[in-house]
Structure 1
């Protein structure tokens, strides 16, 4: 059985591409008794506006009504990924080089599972993040298959 997110991604991708936007993420989650279908979009320059979100929402809603791929009742939300946008693929990681990131791993690396710092590089499926341990800056290499979650973060120490 195909996951809801995969079906919706196939439906929304042509809409987003037609509008020259970027599909950042698709989530289908249950919160309390309600289901939410969340679509995160952006522009290549990172300045998405509410009118663009509304247009994608209208077109996707029509497509969802036509194909009816979701059994449960749900709320559709189309929005910007925000300041802490997820890093899902190689392009996301490459675009985030030099930026402050948060990375959570499936298992500990040097006794830690959460890393917050500057993404120094990404290549050969390894992310190198410069973190601060007390007053020292340390570079940590994290294999992509060990990354449970990665997103941009806000550096409050600056």
Structure 2
């Protein structure tokens, strides 16, 4: 006569840790793929992450069951405005550095002083260094914002709905 019931292994009696481990691998995959973003997108993703810190609280719009589309769009517009101001400031600083005369500079035909560095290395705008302006950049910011909101909701384990 067998008095002992069939003994189950630990992983079968408490399967929850396996579920959480699966979610951790999903988040690790997402973070890895975000590191593969192009340089500009990665820069803006990090800045969006910093800007979202002020919205990250218990009763925030970020954690609503169904976040309002217009509220999220307004949030994306605000982030776009901040990023645009930062881009303009960076361009102004770069222009000031390029325009500053350096020792050993040359005089152009118009009488303006040209620094040796500027004469040798003219500023060339490429796709990577061009400012993020235009409707396509607003769409990029929205996509990055929604991805960051998703990541925060998953990380917090938000399942109230």
TM-score (norm 1): 0.24
- Counting helix residues as a fraction of each chain, which structure ranks higher? 2
Considering only CA atoms, is the larger Rg found in Structure 1 or Structure 2? 2
Question: Scaled by the length of structure 2, what TM-score is found?
Answer: 0.23
More strand by share: 1
Structure with greater contact order relative to length (CA < 8 Å, sep ≥ 6): 2
